[in-house]
Amino acid sequence: MSTGAYLIKTEHPKAEIVMGLGVLYLSFIVMPVFIYHRYKDGKYKKYILDDEKIKAWKE
């Protein structure tokens, strides 16, 4: 994406394609890998609200 931004500044004809491919790469390859890596150990479970946590919070 930084290459795409540079190409946009220099008004290269293929700049928008390079920027679009960068966004596509980030959204379909990097983000799923990041999400999988963060949630594979189950650390997210402490952030999920269930009935027990809601009752404890109300008391």
**Residue stretches of the chain with pLDDT short of 70:** none
- pLDDT reported for residue 49: 82
The token pair that represents 25 in the structure block: 């790469």
- pLDDT reported for residue 53: 82
- pLDDT reported for residue 41: 79
Residue 19's domain comprises: 2-58
Structural domain count, the chain? 1
- pLDDT reported for residue 4: 84
